Amino acid sequence: MKNLTFYKEFKQELLEIDYLFHNYLNSWWEDIYNYTYTLEEDLLWQSIPEFVLLAYDYFGVEEDLSIKMAVIFKMVYLSNHIHAHIKDDKEGQAYNQELQFTILIGDYLFGQIMKLLLEVGAVKVVDAFTDMMGEISEGYIIKNKIDASAIEVLEKTEANYYSTAFFTAARLSGITSERDLILIKELGLSLGMIMYLILNNRTHNEINDYMLKINQLYNLVNHNKGNDKSFLPKAIIKLNEFLGNQSKAAVI
């Protein structure tokens, strides 16, 4: 995992994200900390800020906004993590004070997310966040109640954070072409899927299929950027090398 991260490149930004995350939620921090503590070993929770920074760096979004958007993504992940642990009556969920408090914290986080999006001037991507949160909820429902494929569930849940990170970065950078936005969102989705598959030791064929898509999509998305000096091409090269695709890495 360490070979695929960009902690050193974004060290200062990540420290600022942690500080702001705590600061924005300070009034409820003692209660919220109990939930963040359970995420300490969650690799997706750890990687989301880096990949948000990676996407926003690629599209040239200013650093201050990029950092605050990464904070928002952390809040969304925490909110969904909390709500995912609320079961229904058939699953034995007791409607008690603890449940009411859990729901209250989740609702508080949602309110903070919407408030912060408006404060940082990201009004044009509010719909992307509400869509993402709706799709993630749908993903948890089909995972638990419907015979859906594992890939379909992952695309709606874990990988959704990555696709939305790339999509919102593109929108905030001024990209309006529907075709380009679709390709960009698909690139983010494929990056999210391959990270999950690698971390969970899925089959070589599954992983390579997504690596092929990433290489193709990156070349389509990057066609008009010229000499790209962002960290994204380095990340894609890292992935190719990690998977032993040195010949593909040389083309990027």
What is the model's pLDDT at position 8?
A: 80
Number of domains observed in the structure of the chain: 1
Summarize pLDDT for 163-213 with one digit per residue, the tens: 999 999 999 999 999 999 999 999 999 999 998 888 877 777 888 999 999
Q: Tokens at residue 136, please? A: 């993630």
Distance CA 184, CA 199 (A): 23
Q: Range of 70's domain?
A: 2-251
126 close to 172: Cβ distance less than 8 angstroms: no
**Cα 23 to the center of its chain, rounded Å:** 21
Give me the CATH number covering residue 144.
Answer: 1.10.600.10
* Percent of the chain whose pLDDT exceeds 90: 54
Q: Tokens at residue 185, please? A: 């969102």
pLDDT confidence bin for 226, thresholds 50/70/90: low
Q: What are phi and psi of 190, to 5 degrees?
A: -65, -40
DSSP 8-class letter at 230: S
DSSP 8-class letter at 7: T
Rounded mean pLDDT of the chain?
A: 86
Summarize pLDDT for 27-83 with one digit per residue, the tens: 889 888 888 888 988 888 989 999 999 999 999 999 999 999 999 999 999 998 887
Q: Coil, strand, or helix at residue 159? A: helix
Residues 6+ apart with CB under 8 A from 219: 252
Q: What is the DSSP string of 71-86?
A: HHHHHHHHHHHHHHT-
